[in-house]
Chains A and B, each alone.
Chain A
Amino acid sequence: MVRSTIGRVAVVLCALAFSLAWSGGASAQATRTWVSGVGDDANPCSRTAPCKTFAGAISKTAASGTINVLDPGGYGSVTITKSITIEADGDFAGITHSGTTGIIVNALPTDVITLRGITLDGFGTGLNSIRFIAGGTLLLEHVDINTTGGNGILFEPSSASTLSLHDVSISRTGLVSTTAGGVSVAPTGTGSAALDFDDVRIIDARFGVSIAGPATGVIRDSTVSSTGEDGIVVNGATIASDILLDNVAVSDCATNGVAAIGANAVIRINNSTISGSGQGVLTSANGRVLSFGDNRIAGNVVNGAPTQVTPLQ
């Protein structure tokens, strides 16, 4: 009798332990999850039971994991606090963020965040489409950003961070905020920015690229056009920034095509075209625009001139 009771208790305990173990396994974060326009955030975000939103999927995705988009759809705003890849390969993956921010990145200084194949639309009233507050690296590939009241990308890291853009289109940004435009780089505190822009197209923004704060990097094979203010401006009154423009076309900017303002602002221009703007090159308060002597600065109301020509080496 006693042995029988002990046996029954053991069976119950085993069943309970198995049950707990099973439920624990079900709530563990997966390294790869999926979202679908017909998914449900109550699902485990598996291939056959996908989630509905990025916000729903990210909580079920392990750090350094990947969220895949299964089919075209709108997947909502998301806040990212860890290394993650959100990837839509060949499918439209939209984030409509009217009245709010599209993607907020607030991660650790070692985290790498990759966004691939995403389209963000602020519908005119959105805040920043992408706001980077903290993290290691933000990599954007094949991303479209358009029609928002704030910045297309506001990059304001609080540590040494990298912003890498490849095949990124930004249009109609800064529609509401008078201090917003295409890409705004403004590190905070002890933060600094390393920039690597390649094949970036910014059109019809309040400004194209604004850099204010410790920043170095290169913008290559890119275009900035039809801005309501400056095309590319570096503000460096007290903090140094040094940016290289390589094969960049800046055109039809209402004020300055390229502007270096402040004694610590340096813009180097190589094989680039600055045309159709109010003033092609502006240097102010000892800012410097250094040319490699192979640029085309013409067709602006006043062309301006680089502060120095450095021979090609």
Chain B
Amino acid sequence: MSRRAPSKRRALLLAVLLSGAATPASAQQALGVLATTCGPLDANRSLPVDTTAAVPARAVVVASVVGNGVVLDDLVLVDPASASYTAIGARRTRATAKLGVAQLFAPVVSAVPAGSRFTLRAVAAPPGTSVCVSLAAFTDVAVGAAAMQSRAAAGGNNATPALTGDRNGDGTPQVLLGSFAFAADPSGFATAQPGIVATSACDAAQTLCIGALAGNDAGGGALALGATLGTAVNWSGVLASLDRDSMFKDGFE
């Protein structure tokens, strides 16, 4: 199903990029893409997602989900650690490309080994509906009501999907999370800024694709994420800016 299911070599390269090279400023923070895949919902309106990397205990898992904006409702994500996922942001369009996109996150209490199965349920979507899911783990992200500093939701039809948060940064370290739904292959999906990681995948028909971005910011300017594509495509996206968990620690934990 997944057009770009990551090979072991690619996953290893991505893990290296995400865990260290992409974030040299913070030794504590590790980012990792667990899985990015597309496929049809089964008879139980579910899509299983098998991870290719382990999740350490107390990490935060962020899920990006995209699908048909008309029927993508009541999303529920279940993982082996029975974490309770909270919505961070979502956007839906019913016109033209009919794109729906959502972000959810949860702290994972106990470690989850590679090869574990997460399950996405779209309670109201008909079986066979195509959806895409991307999972990423973060070890230095705060969760809770005060964690989100800025947010954005937007869409368009161009080759430069970009999201700018509704508030500027306040100088504290932030993790920026962007989730995008595309109505066609976002060929050349790459980050517009250095030091940001990206992953993408499309369904078999190439009419629904997902893109996920993550980056860091510690400045006082606009909290923004963007990507560059090879060609213009209909897109819809949401952005969340979350505090880095380490900012709440004093070094004596």
A residues adjacent to B (C-beta < 8 A): 229, 237, 252, 254-256, 261, 263, 276-279, 282-288, 298-305, 307
A300 and B90: CB pair below 8 A?
A: yes
Residues of chain A within 8 A (CB-CB) of B62 are: none
Residues of B within 8 A of A (CB): 65, 69, 72-75, 86-87, 89-94, 100-102, 104, 124, 145-146, 148-149, 151, 153, 166-167, 238
Given A299-B124, A301-B102, A302-B102, are A279 and B74 also a contact pair (CB < 8 Å)? Answer: no
B148 to A, closest residue via Cβ: A284
Question: What secondary structure prevails in chain B residues at the interface with A?
Answer: strand
Task: Give the complex CA separation of A277 and B70 in angstroms.
Answer: 10
Nearest CB to that of B152 among chain A residues?
A: A255
Residues of chain B with a CB closer than 8 A to A300's CB: 73-74, 90
Residue ID in chain B nearest A283 by CB atoms: B145
Contacts of B72 in A (CB 8 A): 301
Q: How far is the CA of A261 from the CA of B100 in the complex (A)?
A: 22
Q: Which of B89, B94, B124, B166 has the most CB of A within 10 A?
A: B89
Q: A255-B153, A283-B145, A285-B148 are in contact. Are A278 and B102 (CB under 8 A)?
A: yes
Pair count A-B, CB < 8 A? 76
Residue among A237, A263, A284, A301 making CB contact with B90, cutoff 8 Å: A301
A235 CB → nearest B CB, Å: 9
Of the A-B pairs whose beta carbons lie under 8 Å apart in the complex, a sample of 29, sorted by A's number, is: A229-B153, A237-B167, A254-B153, A261-B166, A263-B146, A277-B90, A278-B89, A278-B91, A278-B92, A278-B100, A278-B101, A279-B89, A279-B102, A282-B89, A284-B145, A285-B145, A286-B146, A300-B73, A300-B90, A301-B65, A301-B69, A301-B73, A301-B75, A301-B90, A301-B92, A301-B101, A302-B87, A302-B102, A304-B86
Q: Are A304 and B87 in contact (CB under 8 A)?
A: yes
Are the CB atoms of A302 and B145 closer together than 8 Å? no
Question: Do the beta carbons of A255 and B87 come within 8 Å of each other?
Answer: no
Contact present for A278 and B146 (CB under 8 Å):
no
Kindly state the separation between the CA atoms of A298 and B146 in the bound complex, as whole angstroms. 24
A149 to B139, CA, bound (A): 45
Do the beta carbons of A286 and B145 come within 8 Å of each other?
A: yes
- Given A301-B90, A301-B100, 16 additional A-B pairs, CB 8 A: A252-B94, A278-B100, A278-B153, A279-B89, A279-B90, A279-B102, A283-B145, A285-B148, A286-B145, A299-B73, A301-B75, A301-B102, A302-B75, A303-B74, A303-B87, A304-B87
**Cβ of A32 to closest chain B Cβ, rounded Å:** 48
A237–B150 Cα gap in the complex (Å)? 12
Cα–Cα distance between A80 and B153 once the two chains are bound (Å) = 38
Collect the chain B residues with CB atoms within 8 Å of residue A237's CB: 167
Q: How far is the CA of A284 from the CA of B167 in the complex (A)?
A: 12
The 6 closest A-B pairs by CB, nearest first: A302-B87, A278-B90, A279-B90, A301-B90, A255-B153, A278-B91
